[in-house]
Structure 1
Amino acid sequence: MQLLSIGIPNELKNGSDFLEHGLKDMKTEGIDVNVNLDNRGNITFFNIDVEDKASYKNITKIRQHISDIISDIIVNQIDKKLIKKIIDKYYNYFNSDEKQRIANIANGILDNDVNRETFKLVKKEKIFIEIEDFLKDNETIDIEGFVNFRLRDFIGELSEVVDRAVDEYLMQKEYDEFIGLLKYFVELQDSKIDVLNILVDKCGKFRFFDKDNNPITGEFLSDITVEFSGGELSDDDMLISTLIAMAPAKIYIHSANNLKSKEALDTVKKIFSDRVFICNGCSLCAAHEARK
């Protein structure tokens, strides 16, 4: 006696495996079902039936199991396919590489720890209820068709995630281009100092020393930083500005663990690449530690 027929796109191999695993779990709970596969082009239907009336009495429980399995497939696998479709439809002016990067960002947003515990769980519960209600009146469910016609809100929310991913991608692209320009500028200019030692104190402030560990202060540093006095600068901005103006041949960063933001260090590395060295302990570090 056939109870339900579930259509899964063939490209979702993991979805099929997940469904088969879920059906096996049902058997361990004493619900004996048989599954016959019916391949119809791009979709494989899993036809679920029972052989005895005792198992048929568990129809409500079977629907709940199936609804749970399908809702899991939707929020963890179909969502990735939908994200790709949304990008292809609304952001077709990006090239294939850019689209993939945007998709990766969007999937990362959905799969981070916070969203996994909030967005996905909440959406799965709502989708579970929708599927369970649908299966009360329908024996056949095409998962992809169900999503397209019954879960418009879910698609809308994924569209918002894609919009956010596009914004993040464009910001990152702009940042990378800016870093590229700074790197090019640094490579063109002559170094004003051979070696610059940067000590990060326990408050995250930067102190500058020459190759002999003598403090760099006063007029020299003022002349350098005055070039970048067009607006308010954070400590990190001032660090980057000073380094660009000095264009040191070598940069040694001491007590990097005291940095308030690791982004500043990443930016310095991107601009100056092989000129940057992270100190793991030296006489300058020791002298600073002794003064604490």
Structure 2
Amino acid sequence: MIKIYFEQHNELEKFICLLQADANPLFSCEHSDDRVVAIHLVQEEEKGLAAVARAVAQFILHFMEDRLLLSIISGTFYYNDEEEQQQILQLAHSFLDGERHDYRTGKKHRQSREALIMDALLPFLKDGLSFSLASFVTFRLKPYIQLLSHYVELAIDEYKLEQEYQTFVQLLRDYVAVRETKWSVVHLVHRPPEFFFFDAQFRYVPKTELKQWIDRKLVNQPMYIDATVLAPLVSLAPKTIYVYTDEPDDGMLQTLQNVFQERLRFFPSQAFRRSLPVE
């Protein structure tokens, strides 16, 4: 028999559901109101222990992991604002789920969190054992906790970058709002990775001419502003920007959308009928 102690009764109930989900014949379980589950191994002890280990691992991943991440966010990195915590938590999940690349290590395939937990559980579980799940996580899952900490650090880096980006976008948005319009219309043609400027009469505007329109105040800003596309557009402060592109999700175009908002109008690249220069 194995006894597992939980901190809360609702945790016990969730764990029982995981244990009983597969109607596994290798063990039976019973529980009481004092947050303890007793698991009786019926046959094939090794396979029964492995099945119990999988259930414990799934419980930790599904019902404890967010709490552990939030504990790291607040306890290690001192982010105590609830809204900030939730934003960092979501970013951490995007790294954990592989949606964002681990740019620090460059590793695409780390050992999975479940494998780390199972590596600690399988040598630990045995018939006749009684243990607290919270204590097990604290004292025997250090590699797993270290992995969570690593991804929280990545999430915080990303959070800071996003905060800086939002500040940057708002600065440019405010600038455009009060800037005198130099050109009422700009036609911007996107042929990755290049952008080509045309004025309201569809006259091509070379880069050397665009540079002359850039407000020097933008160059002296503490944040870097792209001098080939963003700085000229912000300096010109057009009322309407016609963008011809087949890649509206391009990073620069997303920034232009965030800065100029309703001033941008998107069209497929083929809608621009004039020939492009060779630079």
TM-score (norm 2): 0.82
SS at match of 1:244: helix
Letter in 1 for 2:70: K
Partner deviation per Cα, 1:1-27 (whole Å, 9 max, x = no partner): xx22234454557555333214x1x23
Partner deviation per Cα, 1:210-231 (whole Å, 9 max, x = no partner): 2232222477423114736679
Which residue of structure 1 aligns with residue 197 of structure 2? 208
Q: CA deviation at 1:98?
A: 0.7
Structure 1 distance, partners of 2:135, 2:123, is 16
Match of 1:159 among 134, 141, 149: 149
Q: Does 1:108 align with 2:94?
A: yes
Q: Where do 5+ consecutive residues of structure 1 fail to align? A: none
Which residue of structure 2 aligns with residue 174 of structure 1? 164
Match of 1:90 among 43, 55, 76: 76
Which residue of structure 1 aligns with residue 262 of structure 2? 274
Q: Is the 8 A contact 1:110 1:120 kept in 2?
A: no
Q: Is the 8 A contact 1:225 1:242 kept in 2?
A: yes
Report the CA distance shift for 1:279/1:4 in structure 2 as closer, same or farther (over 3 A): same
Moved more, 181-190 or 145-154: 145-154
Report the CA distance shift for 1:218/1:21 in structure 2 as closer, same or farther (over 3 A): closer
Structure 1 distance, partners of 2:61, 2:36, is 20
Structure 2 distance, partners of 1:10, 1:155, is 24
Partner deviation per Cα, 1:263-284 (whole Å, 9 max, x = no partner): 101110111111011113665x
SS at match of 1:99: helix
Which residue of structure 2 aligns with residue 239 of structure 1? 229
SS at match of 1:109: helix
Structure 1 distance, partners of 2:211, 2:95, is 43
Structure 2 distance, partners of 1:16, 1:265, is 50
Structure 1 distance, partners of 2:117, 2:201, is 66
Q: CA deviation at 1:195?
A: 0.7
Letter in 2 for 1:92: Y
Partner deviation per Cα, 1:215-274 (whole Å, 9 max, x = no partner): 22477423114736679xx995520111111111011111242x8x81101110111111
Letter in 2 for 1:254: Y
Structure 1 distance, partners of 2:111, 2:128, is 26
SS at match of 1:141: strand
Structure 1 distance, partners of 2:14, 2:111, is 18
Moved more, 72-81 or 180-189: 72-81
Report the CA distance shift for 1:162/1:219 in structure 2 as closer, same or farther (over 3 A): closer
Q: Does 1:65 align with 2:89?
A: no
Identity fraction in percent: 21
Q: Where do 5+ consecutive residues of structure 2 fail to align? A: 103-107
SS at match of 1:79: helix
Report the CA distance shift for 1:265/1:138 in structure 2 as closer, same or farther (over 3 A): farther
Letter in 2 for 1:262: D
Which residue of structure 2 aligns with residue 222 of structure 1? 211
TM-score (norm 1): 0.78
Structure 1 distance, partners of 2:14, 2:173, is 44
Report the CA distance shift for 1:280/1:137 in structure 2 as closer, same or farther (over 3 A): same
Which residue of structure 1 aligns with residue 2 of structure 2? 4
Report the CA distance shift for 1:161/1:137 in structure 2 as closer, same or farther (over 3 A): same
Which residue of structure 2 aligns with residue 193 of structure 1? 183
Q: Is the 8 A contact 1:106 1:162 kept in 2?
A: yes
